[in-house]
Amino acid sequence: MIKGEVLTHDVSGSYLHAQSRMVTAVGVDSMVVVETRDAVLVAPRNRVQDVKQIVNQLKSLAAGKPPPMPRYTGPGATMRPLTSPTGTR
């Protein structure tokens, strides 16, 4: 499904919604992309239930609390970013 000003090529099973800017996608399958004036959300369709975790982080930011640091995992390693989303360590 496409809403708003969206340009695609080779896209299937995805939801693309543009509210204030053009959104373009190439080779995307089963993704959700929602662009608003304030933010852009990109997630696999089967993970949209996890959006609540992002909403909680946004609420923390609005309340002046730093959000939890994201964790990145890969084969044989776990990494954390050197800086938080606000640029502090």
pLDDT digits (tens, 9 = 90+) for 45-86: 999 888 888 888 888 887 776 666 666 566 665 555 555 555
pLDDT tens, residue by residue, 77-89: 555 555 555 555 5
Q: Are strands 2-3 and 15-18 parallel, antiparallel or unpaired?
A: parallel
The separation between CA 46 and the C-alpha centre of its own chain, rounded to angstroms, equals: 13
- Per DSSP, 83 falls in state S
CA–CA gap between residue 6 and residue 4 (Å, rounded): 6
